[in-house]
A and B are shown apart, each in its own frame.
Chain A
């Protein structure tokens, strides 16, 4: 599984757009990029998943350049409730590989009023 690198922490203010970039230089052909959000003492919550280009849902957007060696999670107009740890994961989500989600330290996002 590809190793990921993301900033340890980020600060933002309410109403701003937040972009968290994740590096994954050794991403494999079958790998997908998945982002989770986690609040203290709760299970990680799936945010978005993508393979290439851009993916958008009601919560966030995920930008993946053509070489797929990095990705950027974009959170529009954050609020205080978006304060959480955000994990970037890269891996083959199919078949027998679905068990090995490898979590790093994640990015702690602090949203200030």
Chain B
């Protein structure tokens, strides 16, 4: 049973660039959520996708956008990168209408120089 996978593992970008991160949910899950975790902090909710639509959004600017594909995989896009966007980006999957919790992937470490 494959868990949540994310790619790439690490990424280095410069200010102003754009980045795309990818996530494949755990087998049987249909909902994907994205989180940003700065060093020394707990993960912060960015947004959630279900049925290929953004369903909920945290307090993040429009520079952060996403997409969910028919196979439930998802992408997180960040435009006009800032130094403060350097963080561990986590993807979590779950099954809608289930009381079961979210399962996280290993994360993508983004460094903005």
Q: Write the residues of chain A forming the contact surface with B, with a CB cutoff of 8 angstroms.
A: 32, 34, 36, 41-46, 49, 87, 93-96, 98-106
Contacts and interface: CB of A to CB of B under 8 A. Distances in A.
Nearest to A96: B55
Nearest to A35: B101
6 contacts: A43-B90, A43-B107, A49-B101, A98-B98, A101-B101, A105-B41
B72 interface: no
A43 B56 contact: no
A56 B88 CA distance: 31
A96 B56 contact: yes
Contacts of A49: 100-101
A48 B109 CA distance: 26
Contact of A45 (B33, B56, B98, B104): B104
Given A44-B90, A45-B104, A99 B47 contact: yes
Q: In this complex, which of A94, A99, A103 has the most chain B Cβ atoms within 10 angstroms of its Cβ?
A: A99
B40 to A, nearest CB: 9
Contacts, number: 73
B78 interface: no
Given A43-B105, A99-B33, A99-B56, A105 B97 contact: no
A94 B97 CA distance: 5
A34 B56 CA distance: 20
B56 A106 contact: no
A87 B90 CA distance: 15
B42 A46 contact: no
Interface string B5-45: 00000000000000000000000000101010000011111
Interface in B89-113: 90-92, 94, 96-107, 109
B48 interface: yes
Given A41-B88, A43-B4, A99 B45 contact: yes
Contacts of B31: 98-99
Given A101-B45, A102-B45, A44 B104 contact: yes
B98 A101 contact: no
A113 to B, nearest CB: 25
